[in-house]
Amino acid sequence: MTQGILELVEHYEEKTRELRRYFHQHPELSSKEIQTGTFIKEKCHALGLTVEEVPADQRSKGTGFIATLDTGRPGKIIALRTDIDALPVQENAYNLAQKRTVISQTDGVMHACGHDGHMAILLTTMQILHDLKDQLSGKIIFIFEEAEETANSIHAMVDFLQGRGIDAIYGNHLAAFLDTGLIACDPGQIMTGIDMINFDVVGQGGHGSRPDLARNPIYAGVDILNSISVVWNNQIDIEKTVTLGITQFNAGSQDNVFPDRAHIAGTLRFFDEAEGRRAYDLLMDTARRVAPVHGCRIEEGEVAGFDTLPVVNDEGLALKVQSQAEELFPGHLVHDLKWYASETFAHYSLVAPSVFSFVGIRNKEFGSGAEHHNEYFDLDEAALKYAVALMTSFAYHELTSDD
């Protein structure tokens, strides 16, 4: 069936590109994916799929949904996932080499992480599997996840999927750090989990002429950051990598006034969940011990602490995907690749065995390869066919085999 899948992928390749360009032109921010959702639901209804909306909760706005293709025959239930949100990034009219093929029509909003491609991949896969429906048994649930970038809806989606008897969940990410068409799907840990650092150092403001009458949170903040670096060198397990990224240190607005507060924020990234949580506790304990030395205290922000699990591929599923990748595209599979970014896809492992693959989009001549979340980010549309073929092959084999 490999050749048949490749022929269908080629048949729909231009349509896949058109879909990607539509989504790229009409990006919507996390939890505001109204037009995006309407467009996708129309595609689902046109194929006769059942659409169910995920209820809103304290964090999500209810813009996520699922669509189900039922073959009418008993068999496995698998799920295929895409994210649907864009980022608050002002897009540059050029990529790394030339003027863009297509550009966002919404000022200050951009698909700067490949989610436009992910949606196009899933919709094309949905069409192909619908074409092959008579050869399949079981059900396919297509997941359209709200707000992946802010991780606001993953818990609602996971709760919504529980109890549906799902046997496996597949997802993919277009990767700017891999050349176009290269594929990676290693078993085990492949992406980091994340802890959000977000706290205020609270002191006492005052006039710049009398530092003795104030409690300067700036000095306390600097001391905290210096102390954290020592903790990292001396107390984090060197065999369990945890990266520390302090991205904000904001305090004061006038030359002659000591501020009341200094704000510190950033992230911790980790492959080992226990070590990641321990690292966060060490960081906050350090902050709370250092601040009183300066007459200050710590106030933790609302968005702080554990946020996303590490992505860990099920070994059996990953080996299947590797085998299918070699069959579809001999010589395109690469190994031993980890990405220090984080992904809400990790949480689908709480529902069923899950597997996540990377498909390269870097093409120096075309101008793609800029880091994700970057104004120059672009994707080589020639990569889309690799991702469509791999996702389709995974679903086809799962719904035509007994293992």
Return binding residues.
Answer: 113, 115, 149, 173, 373
**Residue 107 burial by Cβ neighbours in a 10 Å radius (0-12, 13-18, 19+):** exposed
CA 19 from centre of chain: 20
Task: List the binding residues for Mn(2+).
Answer: 113, 115, 149, 173, 373
Count of other CB atoms within 10 angstroms of residue 195: 25
Q: At residue 395, what is the residue type?
A: A
What CA–CA distance (Å, rounded) separates 266 from 249?
9
Query: What is the number of alpha carbons within 13 Å of residue 83 lying toward its C-beta?
Result: 30
Q: Scan for tokens 């001999």, then name that residue.
A: 330
End-to-end CA distance of the chain: 17
Tell me the DSSP string of 302-326. Answer: SS-EEEEPPEEE-HHHHHHHHHHHH
Tokens of 151: 């991780």
What CA–CA distance (Å, rounded) separates 152 from 135?
37
Beta strands 168-179 and 354-362, pairing class: parallel
User: Contact at 8 Å (CB) between 248 and 228?
Assistant: no
Radius of gyration of the chain (CA): 23
Count of other CB atoms within 10 angstroms of residue 394: 24
What CA–CA distance (Å, rounded) separates 59 from 72?
36
User: Contact at 8 Å (CB) between 365 and 97?
Assistant: yes
Tell me the DSSP string of 19-49. Answer: HHHHHHHS--BTT--HHHHHHHHHHHHHTT-
What CA–CA distance (Å, rounded) separates 215 from 11?
68
